[in-house]
């Protein structure tokens, strides 16, 4: 799949649910209203949709949410998709999770062919973690992370940089990740969805985060890539890697190789644009996939050059949908 700007689209992120067992302050409002179950694709439909993308050229597949591991019977979908990795049709199957359910699923994920995970973790302080997630328990998350490590899964920690929220912990996170052999990626908060507060109060540019880290650590540019938008450095003192995802201060649109599908079967060609394609209708229109594959091809033909994210005090969210709806 080649978009209008010559970029090869080979990476698909699929949200399997909009539901989550946490309410992170930068992601959701506290009183979220979730989609009716009738609007959500079945696990069988999600598997069929993913198969159509793989036949169209997708080589990397990431399951997201919401929190994907709260979806009932999700391991059956993961196991079936893992067979595409084992057959060579797919290079990689990965997952983004908050790790609350990971302790009971880590071994199953490894057995299914998942090699690595992204875990959202914004604080190592129990009280601060509970405040950011609104009710999360840090011990439960850390137990899940360590279960993943014990199962042989590579873990990358994703941390949203929050002004006044966790900026005093960044050095500690670098040291902790280095000690456990986890990569760490810092992410700028993005203007997606109404969270009932002013995002300018949360926004912390990663240029500032990096300059502060460089006062304590020696950071060297490296060519390491995972297929996503992060730009990585090596930390001399720990031997670990730090990635920086900077949609606000330095967008990564020129190398974008990915699209996102929601749990309702809506394809977004860009995280920061509203243009979308309905894949649920062609998916359900016939038992064959010809209509579905044609709809995918048409959508890729209008993938935009980039997003229009800005954060300022007078701006509405760049897009109305929450990240949990689109898939992280």
- Which three-class secondary structure state does DSSP give residue 282? helix
Q: Are 186 and 134 in contact (CB under 8 A)?
A: no
Binding site listing for S-adenosyl-L-methionine: 26, 66, 120, 190
Binding site listing for GTP: 13, 62, 96, 156, 258-260
Binding site listing: 13, 20, 24, 26-27, 62, 66, 96, 120, 156, 190, 253, 256, 258-260, 270
Please tell me the distance from the alpha carbon of residue 227 to that of residue 243, in angstroms, as a whole number. 12
Please tell me the distance from the alpha carbon of residue 268 to that of residue 270, in angstroms, as a whole number. 5
Domains annotated for the chain, with CATH where assigned, are 11-326 (3.20.20.70)
Residues 6 or more apart whose Cβ sits within 8 Å of residue 148: 99, 102, 106, 109, 117, 119, 155
pLDDT number for residue 213: 97
Strands (DSSP E) along the chain, which ranges?
11-15, 60-64, 92-97, 116-120, 154-161, 183-188, 219-221, 231-235, 241-245, 258-261, 266-268, 276-278
Give the chain's count of helices (H) and strands (E): 10, 12
Binding site listing for [4Fe-4S] cluster: 20, 24, 27, 253, 256, 270
Q: Which of 10, 22, 17 is nearest to 160 (CA)?
A: 22
pLDDT number for residue 272: 72
The reported pTM is 0.87
pLDDT number for residue 315: 47
Please tell me the distance from the alpha carbon of residue 108 to that of residue 127, in angstroms, as a whole number. 31
HSE-up (13 A, CA, CB side) for residue 55: 13
Identify the residue whose tokens are 């409002």: 29
- Residues in the chain with pLDDT values less than 50: 192-193, 195-196, 309, 311-319, 321
């Amino acid at each position: 799949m080649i978009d209008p700007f010559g970029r090869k689209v080979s990476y698909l992120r699929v949200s399997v649910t909009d539901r989550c067992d946490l309410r992170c302050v930068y992601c959701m409002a506290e009183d979220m209203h979730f989609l009716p179950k009738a609007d959500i694709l079945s696990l069988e439909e999600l598997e069929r949709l993913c198969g159509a993308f793989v036949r169209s050229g997708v080589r990397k597949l990431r399951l997201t949410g919401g929190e994907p591991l709260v979806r009932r019977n999700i391991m059956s979908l993961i196991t079936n998709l893992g067979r595409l990795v084992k057959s060579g049709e797919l290079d990689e199957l990965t997952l983004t999770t908050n790790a609350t359910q990971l302790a009971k699923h880590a071994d199953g994920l490894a057995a299914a062919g998942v090699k690595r995970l992204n875990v959202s973790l914004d604080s190592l302080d129990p009280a601060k973690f509970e405040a950011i997630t609104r009710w999360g328990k840090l011990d439960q998350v850390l137990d899940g992370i360590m279960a993943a490590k014990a199962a042989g899964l590579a873990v990358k920690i994703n941390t949203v940089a929050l002004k006044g929220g966790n900026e005093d912990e960044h050095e500690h996170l670098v040291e902790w990740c280095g000690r456990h052999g986890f990569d760490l990626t810092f992410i700028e908060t993005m203007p997606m969805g109404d969270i009932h507060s002013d995002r300018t109060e949360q926004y912390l540019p990663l240029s500032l985060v990096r300059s502060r880290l460089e006062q304590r650590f020696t950071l060297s540019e490296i060519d390491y890539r995972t297929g996503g938008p992060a730009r990585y450095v090596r930390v001399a003192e720990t031997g670990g890697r730090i990635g920086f995802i900077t949609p606000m201060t330095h967008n990564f649109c020129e190398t974008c190789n990915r699209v996102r599908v929601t749990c309702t079967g809506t394809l977004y060609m860009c995280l920061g644009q509203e243009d979308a394609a309905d894949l649920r209708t062609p998916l359900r229109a016939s038992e064959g996939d010809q209509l579905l594959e044609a709809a995918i091809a048409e959508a890729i033909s209008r993938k935009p050059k980039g997003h229009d994210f800005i954060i300022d005090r007078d701006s509405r969210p760049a897009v109305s949908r929450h990240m949990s709806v689109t898939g992280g």
